[in-house]
Amino acid sequence: MTEILFRDDSYLRECQATVTDSGDGAVLLERTIFYPTGGGQPGDTGRMSWDGGNATIINTVYGDGGEIRHLVAEGDSLPGSGTSVNIEIDWDRRYRHMRMHTALHLLGSVLQYGVTGGSIGAEKSRLDFDMVDPVDKEAVNSALQALVADDHPITCRWITDEELAAKPELVRTLSVQPPKGAGKIRLLEIEGVDLQPCGGTHLKSTAEVGAVRLGKVEKKGKHNRRVSIVLDD
């Protein structure tokens, strides 16, 4: 299996890795900093280079067996197994995804309703809330921007199923029940704001979210409010 470096350090932009398999327009690596499409967040794009060649990575996805596939642009050559490659993320795009992803955690803490869906983009992101109440756009926007301005530290930690079971008070604060049976669970904590299981890429503090504001609020059925956010830069 690929060693996943972005879970412990989401700020890695570039690294060396050895190819474990390639073919069908995809490269598998022994370790990676590229985030694969999942949890509403798009897969990373970027570049790969090696002695005598280079390729553009147009997307990163999970394969059927859970392996991470770096998809290479059509017509680009593929490095063979055992090749040492340098990989570099299209950082401007990924950093916007990190800002958006973190901002959606903040939005979820402002609007404490069940979340039924969501999507992250570099320009616009959204969450779908199971709610019938109207959304006070001005109040939500102010609360969101205050959480950014207050610069809350963000940390991740792993806890075991047993530790979680021994701390029922922790479970009560989780908006989503964590999956059981995987042995360990990754918890994201935005100090004083949010605590929930998440495998995504986050910022190290909320101030880095920067110029965020509430976008459109759409009524998508009686029990569904689709709330969008945009970055103003």
Of 40 and 46, the one with the shorter C-beta distance to Zn ion is: 40
Cβ proximity of 151 and 206 under 8 Å: yes
Contacts of 133 (CB under 8 A, 6+ apart): none
Instruction: Choose the binding region for Zn ion from 19-27, 117-125, 174-182, 200-208 (rule: CB under 5 A).
Output: 200-208
Nearest distance from residue 158's CB to Zn ion, in Å?
14
Instruction: Choose the binding region for Zn ion from 120-128, 154-162, 173-181, 198-206 (rule: CB under 5 A).
Output: 198-206
Query: Using the rule CB under 5 A, which residue among 43, 118, 200, 215 binds Zn ion?
Result: 200
- Which of positions 106-135 make contact with Zn ion (CB under 5 A)? none
Written as six digits, the tokens of 135 are 């959304």
Of 57 and 189, the one with the shorter C-beta distance to Zn ion is: 189
Strand order from edge to edge, sheet including 114-119: 114-119, 124-130, 224-231, 212-219
List the one residue out of 66, 3, 10 whose CA is nearest residue 188: 10
Taking phi over 0 as left and psi of -120 to 50 as alpha, with beta for the rest, 58 belongs to alpha
Of 32 and 196, the one with the shorter C-beta distance to Zn ion is: 196
Cβ proximity of 6 and 34 under 8 Å: yes
Query: Using the rule CB under 5 A, which residue among 28, 198, 209, 229 binds Zn ion?
Result: 198
Measured distance CA(126)–CA(139) in Å, rounded: 17
Nearest distance from residue 47's CB to Zn ion, in Å?
26
Q: Which residue is nearest to Zn ion (CB)?
A: 198
Nearest distance from residue 70's CB to Zn ion, in Å?
22
The DSSP code sequence of 34-67 is PPPSBTTBPPP-EEEEETTEEEEEEEEEE-TTS-
Residues in contact with Zn ion, total (CB under 5 A)?
2
Site string for Zn ion, 146-185 (x = CB under 5 A): ----------------------------------------
Query: Distances in Å between the alpha carbon of 178 and those of 144, 166, 175?
Result: 25, 14, 9
Of 118 and 200, the one with the shorter C-beta distance to Zn ion is: 200
43 sits near Zn ion (criterion: CB under 5 A): no
Of 17 and 209, the one with the shorter C-beta distance to Zn ion is: 209
Question: Which residues contact Zn ion (rule: CB under 5 A)?
Answer: 198, 200
